[in-house]
Structure 1
Amino acid sequence: MKRWWIGTTATLMFIASGCAAGTDAKSGTSGHERHTSGQAMPTFVEQSTVPHVREAYAFAAANADQLQYIPCYCGCGSLGHKSVKSCFIAGKKANGQLEYNVHGSGCEICVHVVLDAKKGFEAGKSLQEVRQQIEQKYGPQLSPTNTPAPPDGM
């Protein structure tokens, strides 16, 4: 039993260190387009080998307001990230077009956190309930970003 726990912990630490140590580049969508659910995605999303990364970026693009209140657990706080939203969405350009962050395209932890949030919202859970569920799942093993709590009623 101890070997399983040691192996799992070592794997999680390896993944987390790889995510946090990566670059934190931004990319717009011009010149890198393929439409996924009406949202243009940059090439680095389309070429990622991380499972379900396209689904995570599409969900992040459509739900950035909620994801700004969901912590990330990959160690990206050292990159200045404040929530899991930061791993996928860098901001908006002057023309209103989303600016994507390459970080999430190479980090399985980020993708899992976003997809766990998606599952919770699809199950009808509130933002507070989704955040609590994610904190319970990842918090005992990994350190979260310094993410503000969602406002009441959200």
Structure 2
Amino acid sequence: MHVQQKKWAIALGALMIVGGLTGCGVQEGTQSHDSTSYANHGGQQHVAGDVRELTAGVTVLPSFVKGLDPKVGQIYQIAAANADVLKSMPCYCGCGESVGHKSNLDCFIHEMKPNGQVVWDSHGTKCGTCLDIAAESAMLKQEGKSLKEIRQIIDSKYKDGYAAPTPTPMPS
């Protein structure tokens, strides 16, 4: 195993302990799709209790992760680095129904703009299920699993005792 891979494996293993955060505690609400300028709100927008913040790119984390457990910020970095994986993974916290998420990626990133800017979503900061699915999916990808294999593992693990999954299409 390469040094970089070992570092990721150790970091991901440590992040799996994030289980201290349980459930999302999201409140029912409607998701806003208005085009409110982020610049007019200090770079932030509030949607159904979650904060969305625009940053210059995936290497610039949103301000809402500052002051939280550093593991949360690390998982946000992992989510950005593994966006291709997380967009194929459902979330089982109930965010599909409560805030209209379509995949686990939506818990962390609302939009990746063509110019490289990122609109981050704070939902993942308060949800252990979201954080765990992201960390597990990235770790499984690091182990060489295919998207379909990762999806089957996630679905099997979270199908019982969790909320309905987001409507995420099965990867081909």
Question: Given the two structures, how large is their TM-score scaled by the length of structure 2?
Answer: 0.68
- Classify 1:109/1:97 alpha carbon distance in 2 versus 1 (closer, same or farther; 3 Å): same
Aligned partner of 1:3 in structure 2 is: none
1:17-61, CA deviations, whole angstroms, 9 ceiling, x for partnerless residues? 51x32623210126xx9xxxx811111112224x62122111111
Could you say which residue in structure 1 is the equivalent of 2:91?
72
> 2: distance between equivalents of 1:94 and 1:136?
34
Q: How does 1:10-29 map to 2 (within 5 A)?
A: 15-16=22-23, 18=25, 20-21=26-27, 23-29=49-55
Matched, 1:117 2:137: yes
Compute the displacement of 1:92 (Å).
2.4
Report the count of equivalent residues: 131
Instruction: Looking at secondary structure, tell me which structure has more helix per residue.
Output: 1
Distance 1:119 1:17, change over 3 A: closer
TM-score normalized by structure 1?
Answer: 0.75
Structure 1 segments (4+ residues) deviating >6 Å: none
CA contact (8 A) 1:48 1:106 kept: no
**Which residue, 107, 110, 132 being the options, matches 1:90?**
110
Q: Which runs of 5+ in 2 are unaligned?
A: 1-18, 28-47
1:127 aligns to 2:147 (yes or no): yes
Aligned equivalents of 2:82 and 2:22: distance in 1?
25
Aligned to 1:9: none
Q: Return the alpha-carbon distance in structure 2 between the equivalents of residues 84 and 99 of structure 1.
A: 15
Q: Give the secondary-structure state (helix, strand or coil) at the position aligned to 2:50.
A: coil
Render the CA deviation track for 1:58-99: whole Å, top value 9, x for unaligned: 111112122111000111012010010000001024632111
Counterpart position of 2:169: 148
Q: 1:46 aligns with which of 66, 71, 78?
A: 66
CA contact (8 A) 1:52 1:111 kept: no
**Any stretches of 5+ residues in structure 1 without a counterpart?**
1-11
Asked if 1 retains the 8 angstrom alpha-carbon contact of 2:83 and 2:105, the reply is: yes
Q: What CA distance in whole angstroms lies between the structure 1 residues aligned with 2:64 and 2:50?
A: 13
Structure 1 pair 17–60 and aligned structure 2 pair: CA distance change class (3 A): closer
Greater Cα offset, 56-65 or 92-101: 92-101
Q: Does residue 58 of the first structure (1) align with residue 115 of the second (2)?
A: no
